[in-house]
Chain A
């Protein structure tokens, strides 16, 4: 079945850039998402990219999509301590329904 993979942990220094990577298996996915989960809270959408795009930039966030390699990345520029959270990559795998597959999440720790 469909699978989304991410590394589980990432540590960066405050002010550096963070890059979180994700690989997915369903080549028919129309939307790919990055969600952020802060401690004790639900998930919030951070950004998304449509499958016919290669890149999307939104302030400090840059999303890169390589459809050939089924690879998605999220770059956070000038990482701050408030960016410490778990980041989930997700794909919408069913164009007629509401079937989403999430990765295991990458825990980002920002060191002062």
Chain B
């Protein structure tokens, strides 16, 4: 089944404790993105990647890191999480062309206390 998976689905952590949210897709898509969803603000793009070793900042990259060492994986790293990073995070992937339709993962709900 074609899908984007994220782990963990739920995470509660404390300020300053480094964490990684994994994202994997099995559709051989070139493009991958990370978004955060906050009430009233919709989805805001954090980082995106156009291919292996090619990443770029989205609209809200501060406090986040990403890497793209393999085509299928695009982990999101929070080196020192803070309470304002409490949010619902989505990973998405798409082909490099056509309609650029994005396929979204199920989301990771992160709470930073």
Task: Classify the secondary structure of B's interface with A.
Answer: strand
* Smallest CB gap from B41: residue in A: A104
Q: Does residue A99 face the partner (Cβ distance < 8 Å to B)? A: yes
Chain B proximity of A33: nearest CB distance (Å): 8
Q: Are B94 and A98 in contact (CB under 8 A)?
A: yes
Interface string of A69-112 (1 = CB under 8 A from B): 00000000000000000001010100001111111110000000
Q: Are A42 and B101 in contact (CB under 8 A)?
A: no
Residues of B within 8 A of A97 (CB): 48, 50, 56
For this complex, into which size category does the number of interface residues on chain B fall? 20 to 34
A42 and B41 alpha carbons, distance in the complex (Å): 16
Q: Does residue A43 face the partner (Cβ distance < 8 Å to B)? A: yes
Q: Which of B43, B45, B48, B99 contacts A31 (CB 8 A)?
A: B99
Q: Which of B42, B58, B99 contacts A103 (CB 8 A)?
A: B42
* Residues 27 to 69 of chain A near chain B (Cβ within 8 Å): 31, 33, 41-45, 48
Q: Are B59 and A101 in contact (CB under 8 A)?
A: yes
Q: Which of A4, A8, A45 contacts B102 (CB 8 A)?
A: A45
Residues of A within 8 A of B75 (CB): none
Residues of A within 8 A of B56 (CB): 97-99
Residues of A within 8 A of B99 (CB): 31, 48
Q: Which of A31, A33, A100 contacts B33 (CB 8 A)?
A: A100
* Residues 15 to 33 of chain B near chain A (Cβ within 8 Å): 31, 33
A-B contact pairs, 28 of them (CB 8 A): A31-B100, A33-B101, A41-B106, A42-B4, A42-B90, A42-B106, A42-B107, A43-B90, A43-B102, A48-B99, A48-B101, A88-B42, A92-B100, A97-B50, A98-B31, A98-B48, A98-B56, A99-B48, A99-B58, A100-B102, A101-B45, A101-B59, A102-B42, A102-B45, A104-B40, A104-B41, A104-B42, A105-B42
8 additional contacts, CB 8 Å, given A33-B101, A102-B35, A104-B42?
A: A8-B40, A31-B100, A42-B106, A43-B92, A45-B102, A100-B45, A103-B42, A104-B40
Residues of A within 8 A of B (CB): 1, 4, 8, 31, 33, 41-45, 48, 88, 90, 92, 97-105
